[in-house]
Chains A and B, each alone.
Chain A
Amino acid sequence: MLQYVIAGLALGGIYAIASAGLVITYVSSGILNFAFGALAYFVARFYYFLHTQHGWGILPSAVVAIGLCAPAIGIVLYGILFRFMRLSSPLIKVVATVGLLVAVPSLATLIFGNQAIQAAPGLAPEPVRVFHVIGVPVTLDQVIVYCCVVATVIIGAAVLRYTDVGLKVRAMVDSPAMTGLSGTNPGAVSVGVWAVSIFFAGLAGVLAAPTIGLDPINFTILVAAAFAAVIAAKLRSLPIAVSVGLLMGIVTSLIQRYLPSDSNWTTEIVDAIPFMVIAVVLLYNLVRRGSFGDAERVGGPLDRAIVPQGESRLAGSTASALDAGSIGLLGRYAGPALLMVVATVLPLIVQGFWVGLFAQAFAYGIIFLSWTLVVGEGGMLWLCQITFAGVGALTASQLAVNHGWPVLAAIVVGGLVALPMGLIVGFLSIRLGDLYVALVTLTFGLLMENLVFTQNIFVNQGLGVNMNRPTFAGSDLAFTYLSLAAFAVVALFIVNLRRSTTGLALNAVRWSEPAAKTTGISVVQMKVLVAGLAALVAGIGGGFLAAAQTSAQPGNFATFAGIVWLAVLVTVGVRSNVAALVAGIAFVMMPSLAQAYLPTWTANIPPVLFGLGAIGVAKFPDGTLAQQGQAFRRFLQSRIDRRPAPLAVAMAGDGPTGTIPTGPSTPPAPPSPRVTQDVSP
């Protein structure tokens, strides 16, 4: 028993260090670093590179990797990225760190090579010495973890409580703006916090590597556990985060002790512990409702007053229902129509293998539309759309192949199975705020991936389950057009939604929750609604994807793959339907083109680029396509202005006069401080 507690403390210690690293950056800069696990992996991989691959000693490797490289990464990230994001909306903060999460592992592979690593050493010399404390064996690795945890807690508490730096950090937590005014340089403090945070990431990564292995995928469990601790700590309380981390380690170890070690269930339960912690915390907070709401309100009235609102939102710049704008229908629809025509013609031009790829591209387009709904219209960042796609694909293949259903019916039912999942996850997380939506959906994806997608009925000895195509669209070309038609139907639905009362209400919710509520709109209801619709769309898209690939492979629906998808979409633009189509095509074609025409090592470049693209939303919230689209529309506008053809005039509609800027770009809002008093309960 004691032995297991001691082993559990070591695991929990690693969780604790990781959650401490997450909490300090959240508290000081309002950024929850989703790339934390990826950065931990990067540092651990670097340590392995130095120590094992280049034969450096333990101490120099550790000093260079954890002591120098990790803080340097923190400083650089702060300098080039996070520094500019303190006042961005939670959505953009999450997207940027998600972009990092996508880019970093591929970057590591580019730098360090992609050999599979069987066993990674920790900080103890090999072979690891074992001590016997009151009859219990303790490895030196474990002892090192304890020392690190104790040092972290003591030094951390001392610094925060007794030093000038701690005072500054705590002041900045309350109000960066005030701290800035009173002469402290919040930048200097922040840079330190980021250095320390990534130092913790590196430390946790190196300490964890001997236990969990050195593969980016394995680090997900570390991250999930740290997220659980952080959620339990309501993102803020360092002591709670550390305690919950330790506790989870002990519970994990005890479960391993008391459950049969050879059973599949044991591994599954162990993997599910962080998710159970999260579920308990969420349910608890649902019962004691409302206590989470203010968690993301960093800073005081002054801080909110200087938020550059106009550019701080990912969502919200679509011209909406009733305003035709001076650009008119021609300008608005010329671009999308052109792209649809191109998408229709392309499959006719290319040959064989490439035709099938277009079917996949359009299926991805449908899945991406689910983000267009939930991010673009709902203003929430959902990280588990791939899971819904997986649910749709696996359900559809079971129904179509094992139960002989008509394929299209199976696909639709696959979507309908995903729908209630979206509603439930949404209902549990939405009232807690944007950040919790991202956290909870990410962990929901990981849970499904570990517990459900691993069932043999879906995995089928690694082969996956075959998926049929409808009999009338069996050929690649026919199915490609069927997928495109399905895409068009969903896209039209979204266009209609935007212009309907539902769309107006969603817009209201996105721009001002207090005003939406006092106008009588239920914010949670609208958001849950759009989340459910998005899950439905993702599920249907998943069914189409499986049919395009003629098999449903659970392995294709790993949560982190979905985050790459999101990065692709965000790079192109998450607000528009055509962006989803372009993103689908880019996502499928770029790797295949690279494979066909470029050396293999370049395969890791696209994820890095997409990751960087996602990070770029910090600057261009609407994505690159929207940027180009605006330029295109401005071009059209200038042509129209020069030569006012009767048609253009007629189509310009009853828009406002030239004095009022219109069009898709959000003009900077008047310098209106947010109403700070109206904290929603």
Chain B
Amino acid sequence: MTPTSPETVSPTAPGRPTGDVAGVPVLAAREVSVRFGGLRALSDVSIEVAPASIVGLVGPNGAGKTTLFGVLSGLLRPSSGRVSLRGEDVTEASPQLRARKGLARTFQQPELFMGLTVREHLVLAHRVRFARRRLLTDMFNPRALFGSKASEDERVDALLELLDLTRVAHAPVAALPLGTSRLVEVGRALAGQPDVILLDEPLSGLDLRASENLTEVFRRVVANPDHQVSLLMVEHDVAAVLALSSTIFVLDFGELIAQGTPEHIRNDPAVRAAYLGEEPPVSRTGTDLAFNGTDAS
């Protein structure tokens, strides 16, 4: 689509004509609020994800990150606010419709299809996006009964290779360790070639090597010139987020307390307060900010 350099983080940059498609964020939430009974899980949160960029979403436990993902992906209905996908309002759209329009996500607790193998996850996601009719017509086609298994898209195999999943491609996912499950989640999300992927703590539970590998994968898919993908990533490993993202949003108690470049976030007193629960001493430099590295649980 429109060529946009990965560095473009501010779609509302001055001087850009408003009608320009390049200025439209792939994904945007405007003043989204969610209530669970008396609890305000999100209050008037607005975020934007520019094309072909990695955007971080951080915040302490219970800040509302997963809730925001629920709203963005359509699984949760906000009590107010709008969500748009490539400029199109999708607030009322079902999750499956949003998926068809190019949105994918992973889950904090992997939601895998226990009866399927790793490869089948990717195959299914790929077919859902690119051969939708097969969902309904395939059962009348005896090819499934007699057909060969090897003929699947090279896209799926390339993806398995990319994520280092080839070895377990035919293993049922029920038997996989948590880290590998996360990779399968990512693979399933990527298999549909979405425009934007919501990643809910993709790195937690991965060992160092796998984590570095996956980070590298993220860089590569975003930099891929053939297909523009944006990533919105929730991650407790703040160092990784700061290193990867071009823009970062910080949530605390359901409110957006900061947003901006990694440099900006590192030095933001509100963020430090939210993470440390106190006003940081003025003399400290931003780089040794001691974010509490809480894990997923």
B178 close to A672 (CB less than 8 A): yes
Q: What is the CA–CA distance of A16 and B125 in the complex, to the nearest angstrom? A: 48
Decide: A504 near B123, CB < 8 A? Known: A321-B144, A496-B145, A526-B135: yes
Q: What residues on A are CB-neighbors of B109 within 8 Å?
A: 672-675
In the complex, B276 has a CB within 8 A of chain A = no
**Tally of chain A residues near chain B (CB < 8 A):** 60
Decide: A501 near B134, CB < 8 A? Known: A517-B95, A677-B70: yes
B123 close to A497 (CB less than 8 A): no
Closest CB-CB distance, A420 to chain B, in whole Å? Answer: 17
A18-73 residues at the B interface, CB under 8 angstroms: none
Partner of B141, one of A309, A500, A666: A500
Partner of B77, one of A290, A503, A507: A290
Q: What is the CA–CA distance of A670 and B184 in the complex, to the nearest angstrom? A: 15
Q: What is the CA–CA distance of A661 and B176 in the complex, to the nearest angstrom? A: 10
B144 close to A499 (CB less than 8 A): yes
Q: What residues on B are CB-neighbors of A322 within 8 Å?
A: 117, 119-120, 123, 149, 170
A681 close to B77 (CB less than 8 A): yes
Partner of A316, one of B115, B139, B170, B177: B115
Partner of B172, one of A323, A526, A529: A323
A518 close to B144 (CB less than 8 A): no
Q: What is the CA–CA distance of A519 and B109 in the complex, to the nearest angstrom? A: 16
Count chain B CB atoms within 10 A of each CB in A518, A523, A529, A666 and give the residue with the most: A518
Q: What is the CA–CA distance of A672 and B171 in the complex, to the nearest angstrom? A: 19
B174 close to A666 (CB less than 8 A): yes
Q: What is the CA–CA distance of A662 and B171 in the complex, to the nearest angstrom? A: 8
The count of A-to-B residue pairs whose CB atoms sit within 8 angstroms is 189
Closest CB-CB distance, A31 to chain B, in whole Å? Answer: 24
A518 close to B104 (CB less than 8 A): yes
In the complex, A680 has a CB within 8 A of chain B = yes
The interface-forming segment of A343-351, A404-412, A508-516 is A508-516
A660 close to B168 (CB less than 8 A): yes
- Please encode chain B, from 136 to 171, with 1 for each CB lying within 8 Å of some chain A CB and 0 for all others: 101101101100010000000000000000001011
Q: What is the CA–CA distance of A667 and B174 in the complex, to the nearest angstrom? A: 7
Partner of A669, one of B114, B116, B131, B132: B114
Q: What residues on A are CB-neighbors of B117 within 8 Å?
A: 320, 322-323
B103 — nearest CB in chain A belongs to which residue?
Answer: A518
Closest CB-CB distance, B123 to chain A, in whole Å? Answer: 7
Decide: A501 near B124, CB < 8 A? Known: A322-B119, A521-B135, A526-B135: yes
| 8 more CB-based (< 8 A) A-B contacts, given A502-B134, A517-B75, A520-B99 | A500-B134, A501-B138, A512-B112, A514-B75, A516-B113, A519-B99, A529-B136, A680-B75
Q: Which 3 A-B pairs have the closest CB atoms?
A: A520-B99, A500-B138, A515-B111
Binding site for B on A (CB under 8 A): 290, 309-310, 316-324, 492-493, 495-497, 499-505, 507-508, 510-512, 514-523, 526, 529, 654-656, 660-662, 666-667, 669-670, 672-675, 677-681
Can you list 29 A-B contacts (CB < 8 A)?
A317-B115, A319-B172, A321-B149, A322-B149, A496-B139, A496-B141, A496-B142, A496-B145, A499-B144, A500-B139, A501-B127, A503-B139, A505-B124, A514-B75, A516-B113, A517-B96, A518-B74, A518-B99, A519-B104, A522-B94, A522-B96, A656-B170, A661-B175, A662-B172, A662-B175, A670-B178, A674-B109, A675-B66, A677-B67
